[in-house]
């Protein structure tokens, strides 16, 4: 796994910028599932991989612990929390409630330019799915949802939704990689159709179906399989 920072890493003297860059990079890697659930990491190891000192990594990890994206272990180790069936189902339920509400609240703000961007993101998501490019697939999927909900000025929902994405991202990646099937219905297209007709209820239904179609059955299957392996 490659955690290397971009070539345009800021001067270490600019500590605030460097800390934010490290935080955003680790946050993105977690959300995209590049760090596996249960994988143990160290501050020193992350700092070495990122090419930075321990201080910005420590600060980034502190913020990620507060967002429940990682958990602290002994000996300065951290890891992505393991997933249980109950926690997974709660995350799916929370996403469904928050995102369907956020989508409806976004409806009055969706201009033609935003709709065009959503259509492009949906096409990119589909291409990535067909080519099994998991990084792009997950990133464009989240980008579609963020573009939709993020049009609301000073949205209270977005920080809450992103926190849920952080907690479920690593497991979503694992679930997608383990499943060879494709989704038979493009729920993003359903959402776009609802947006075009300004149908709030249809939009809520499409968003809820998109979340549940994408992860519910796969997640439950994988978690049960893990539980069975632990018992053997």
CATH classification at residue 202: 1.20.120.530
Report the pLDDT averaged over residues 92-104: 96
Question: What residue has token string 């589909």?
Answer: 126
Mean pLDDT value of segment 174-182:
69
Same domain, yes or no, for 224 and 163?
A: yes
Domain check: are 210 and 107 in the same one? yes
Characterise 154 by phi-psi region: left (phi > 0), alpha (psi -120 to 50), beta (else): left
| Dihedral, 147, 148, 149, 150 alpha carbons, nearest 10 | 30
Same domain, 107 and 220: yes
CATH of the domain at 36: 1.10.10.10
Q: What is the pTM of this model?
A: 0.82
The residue out of 57, 79, 101 marking a domain boundary is 79
- State the average pLDDT over residues 160-172: 90
Query: How far apart (Å, rounded) are the C-alpha atoms in residues 40 and 115?
Result: 41
Residue scoring higher pLDDT (113 or 186): 113
Residue 73 lies in a domain: yes
Distances (CA, A) of 137 to 40, 88, 100, 127: 25, 21, 21, 8
Considering the domain architecture, whether residues 139 and 209 belong to the same structural domain is answered as: yes
Task: State the Cα–Cα distance between residues 232 and 222, nearest whole angstrom.
Answer: 16
CA distances in angstroms from 5 to 42, 171, 178, listed in the order given: 17, 24, 28
* Number of compact structural domains in the chain: 2
**Structural domain for 162, as ranges:** 85-231
Q: What is the DSSP string of 102-137?
A: HHHHHGGG--HHHHHHHHHHHHHHHHHHHHT-HHHH
Q: Based on the fold, state whether residues 38 and 116 are members of the same structural domain.
A: no
- Which of 37, 61, 79 marks a domain boundary? 79
Q: Residues 5-22: pLDDT tens digits?
A: 444 444 544 556 888 999
Model confidence over 118-152: pLDDT tens digits? 999 999 999 998 898 988 999 999 999 999 999 99
């Amino acid at each position: 796994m490659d955690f290397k920072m971009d070539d345009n890493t800021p001067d270490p003297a600019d500590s605030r910028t460097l800390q934010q860059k490290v935080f955003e990079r680790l946050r993105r890697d977690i959300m995209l599932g590049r760090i596996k659930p249960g994988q143990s990491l160290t501050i020193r190891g992350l700092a070495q991989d990122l090419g930075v000192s321990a201080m910005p990594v420590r600060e980034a990890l502190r913020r990620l612990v507060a967002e429940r994206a990682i958990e602290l272990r002994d000996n300065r180790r951290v890891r992505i929390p393991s997933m249980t069936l109950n926690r997974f189902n709660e995350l799916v339920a929370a996403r469904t409630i928050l995102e369907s509400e956020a989508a409806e609240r976004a409806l009055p703000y969706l201009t033609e330019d935003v709709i065009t961007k959503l259509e492009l993101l949906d096409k990119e998501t589909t291409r990535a799915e067909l080519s099994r490019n998991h990084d792009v697939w997950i990133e464009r999927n989240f980008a579609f949802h963020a573009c939709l909900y993020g049009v609301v000025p000073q949205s209270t929902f977005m920080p809450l939704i992103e926190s849920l994405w952080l907690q479920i991202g690593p497991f979503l990646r694992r679930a997608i990689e383990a499943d060879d099937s494709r989704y038979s219905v493009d729920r993003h297209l359903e959402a776009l159709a609802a947006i075009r007709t300004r149908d709030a209820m249809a939009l809520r239904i499409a968003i809820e179906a998109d979340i549940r179609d994408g992860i519910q059955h796969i997640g439950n299957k994988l978690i049960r399989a893990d539980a069975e392996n632990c018992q053997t």
